[in-house]
C-alpha cells in the first residue's frame, strides 16, 4: 500500500491511495503514520472517505526520532567526490527538523554557496530493532520512501566538526510522497533512482550499486543503537551530485529539482533563498 500524510505543515492527516489512485482519509483508523501507528499498517484499509481537491502532501512519516544517513555507499559517488569507499558503513545523523514534504520549497541557507542534491532510498523502521541479523532485518521495515539528502558542501567539509552542519539545515530532508509497504517493493536492491535540475538529468542510478545493502545496514546499525518505529535510514546516493561536476555546480534560487525512485513516487521542489 501507499500511505501518505496531507494538509498544512504541522497539521497533516493520515491517508492512503486506493486502487484507483484516489487519496482517502485514514483518520478514522489511525491517529497518524508514525511511532506505534506504523505497527498497525497491515490492518489499515483504503475504504475511508475520499479527500477532495488538491491538498498539500506532507512527509509520509510522523514523529521520526532519528535520521541515520550512510555516506559513500555507492563506489561511483565516492570516486566523484575524491573519496575512498569505507571498509564499513560510514554513518552520520541528519536533524529531524530538516524534514519537509515532497513538494515543499528547498531553502538555501543564508550564506550558503554550495547547496547540493542527493537522491536516496529511505528505509522506515516499523518495529524496534536491536542486534538483528541480516536474515531478519527486513521484517523490521515499515516501508520505503524517496529522500533528498540536501547538503551544503561548504558547511559539511570546511566548517569544522562532522557532517551535521551541512546536512541538517531547515528543508534539507524532503520525504515522500509515499510510504510504500514492503509488499509493493519486490527487491529494495533493484530500484532506479533519478534526479534532475531544471530539466537536466543529474543522477540516474540503481540501488543495485550500493556497497552495503539494506539488510546489512539495518543489522549493522542495530548493533550500535536501537532502531525505533519511525526512524529513517538514508542509504546513500549514486553519482551525479553537484560536488562531482566540473566545474562544481550547486542549487540557486529559482531552480526546480525533480526526484523519483521506481515505485516510490516523485518529488518536485522549487528552490528559494532562505
Cα 74 to Cα 212: distance, rounded to the nearest angstrom:
8
Domains, the chain, with CATH or none: 59-273 (3.90.850.10)
CA proximity to 131, closest of 122, 140, 123:
140
Output the pLDDT for position 125: 98
Length of the chain counted residue by residue: 274
Is residue 57 predicted with pLDDT exceeding 80? yes
User: What mean pLDDT is reported for the chain?
Assistant: 96
Is residue 175 predicted with pLDDT exceeding 80? yes
pLDDT band at 26 (very low <50, low <70, confident <90, very high): very high
**Cβ of 19: how many Cβ atoms within 10 Å?**
7
136's enclosing H/E stretch is: helix 134-137
Cα 153 to Cα 165: distance, rounded to the nearest angstrom:
9
User: What pLDDT, in 10s, does the model give residues 36-53?
Assistant: 899 999 999 999 999 999
Task: Look at the pTM and tell me if it is higher than 0.85.
Answer: yes
Average pLDDT over residues 149-171: 91
Cell of 247: 566545474
pLDDT band at 204 (very low <50, low <70, confident <90, very high): very high
| pLDDT > 90 fraction of the chain, expressed in percent and rounded | 91
pLDDT band at 75 (very low <50, low <70, confident <90, very high): confident
Output the pLDDT for position 162: 78
Amino acid at each position: 500500500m501507499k500511505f501518505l500524510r496531507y494538509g498544512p505543515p504541522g497539521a497533516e492527516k493520515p491517508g492512503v491511495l486506493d486502487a484507483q489512485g484516489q487519496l482517502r482519509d485514514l483518520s478514522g483508523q489511525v491517529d497518524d503514520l508514525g511511532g506505534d501507528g506504523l505497527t498497525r499498517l497491515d490492518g489499515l484499509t483504503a475504504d475511508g472517505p475520499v479527500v477532495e481537491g488538491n491538498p498539500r502532501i506532507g512527509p509520509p512519516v510522523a514523529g521520526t526520532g532519528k535520521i541515520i544517513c550512510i555516506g559513500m555507499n555507492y563506489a561511483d559517488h565516492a570516486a566523484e567526490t575524491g573519496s575512498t569507499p569505507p571498509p564499513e558503513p560510514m554513518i552520520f545523523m541528519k536533524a529531524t527538523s530538516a524534514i519537509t514534504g515532497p513538494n515543499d520549497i528547498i531553502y538555501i541557507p543564508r550564506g550558503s554557496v554550495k547547496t547540493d542534491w542527493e537522491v536516496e532510498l529511505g528505509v522506515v523502521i516499523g518495529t524496534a530493532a536491536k542486534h538483528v541479523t541480516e536474515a531478519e532485518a527486513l521484517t523490521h521495515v515499515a516501508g520505503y520512501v524517496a529522500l533528498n539528502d540536501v547538503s551544503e558542501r561548504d558547511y559539511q567539509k570546511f566548517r569544522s566538526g562532522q557532517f551535521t552542519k551541512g546536512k541538517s539545515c531547515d528543508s534539507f530532508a524532503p520525504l515522500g510522497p509515499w510510504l510504500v509497504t514492503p509488499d509493493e517493493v519486490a527487491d529494495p536492491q533493484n530500484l532506479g533512482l533519478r534526479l534532475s535540475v531544471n530539466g537536466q538529468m543529474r543522477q540516474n542510478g540503481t540501488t543495485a550499486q550500493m556497497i552495503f545493502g539494506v539488510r546489512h545496514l539495518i543489522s549493522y546499525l542495530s548493533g550500535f543503537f536501537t532502531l525505533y518505529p519511525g526512524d529513517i535510514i538514508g542509504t546513500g546516493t549514486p553519482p551525479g551530485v553537484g560536488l562531482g561536476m566540473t566545474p562544481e555546480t550547486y542549487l540557486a534560487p529559482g531552480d526546480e529539482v525533480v526526484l523519483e525512485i521506481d515505485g516510490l513516487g516523485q518529488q518536485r521542489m522549487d528552490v528559494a533563498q532562505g
